[in-house]
Amino acid sequence: MGQILAIDYGKARCGIAVTDDMQIIASSLDTVETKSLLVFLNKYFSENKVDGVVIGLPVDLKGNISEVETDILKFIEEFTKEFSDIPVHRFDERFTSKMASFFISQSGKSKKKRQEKGLIDRVSATIILQNFLEQRTR
């Protein structure tokens, strides 16, 4: 069994999280500039067995899709051309950035560290992935 990788996709950068090989626990991995995401994934997939990718679905409180979805769909199209053997799953990412900010603020990190956007992106990806894992086991 391989890992599942999650992407909190953003216009400037993406948070990345992965599971363990048993697909039980989600862990923060990295923050990658969006323009370098496919290069990063190519290297990561060559070094690790990945069974699937979860990409956040940006929905607002009213259920409307965010404008970044257009970019995400373009990315998914490129991804599936390059990695046709890795399935892509979508998962509602509502509230993940707010939850990430809250968890980081409770962690005792310094104010400067808490405001680091890359950290929020990584934690958001981890929340998306952990929620995906929990829903899958229900």
Q: Which of 82, 80, 56, 86 is nearest to 69 (CA)?
A: 56
**H or E element: which one contains 72?**
helix 69-82
Structure tokens at 19: 């599971």
What contacts 38, CB < 8 A, 6 or more positions away? 78, 79, 82
User: pLDDT at residue 78 above 70?
Assistant: yes
State pLDDT tens for residues 40-73.
999 999 999 999 999 998 887 777 888 889 999 9
As a whole number, the mean pLDDT across the chain is 86
pTM: 0.85
pLDDT top residue among 111 and 123 = 123
Q: What's the rounded Cα separation, in Å, for the pair 117 and 47?
A: 27
pLDDT top residue among 10 and 120 = 10
Total domains in the chain come to: 1
β strands within the chain, DSSP E: 3-8, 13-19, 26-33, 50-57, 88-92
Q: What's the rounded Cα separation, in Å, for the pair 105 and 3?
A: 28
Task: Please tell me the predicted confidence (pLDDT) of residue 114.
Answer: 41
Task: Please tell me the predicted confidence (pLDDT) of residue 75.
Answer: 98
8 touches 53 (CB < 8 A): no
Instruction: Report the chain's C-alpha Rg in angstroms.
Output: 14
CATH number of the structural domain spanning residue 94: 3.30.420.140
Tell me which residue range forms the domain holding 16: 3-137
Task: Please tell me the predicted confidence (pLDDT) of residue 123.
Answer: 85
What 3 state SS string does 16-29 have?
EEEECCCCCCEEEE
Instruction: Work out the average pLDDT over 9-26.
Output: 95
* Highest-scoring range by mean pLDDT, 16-25, 51-60, 114-123: 16-25
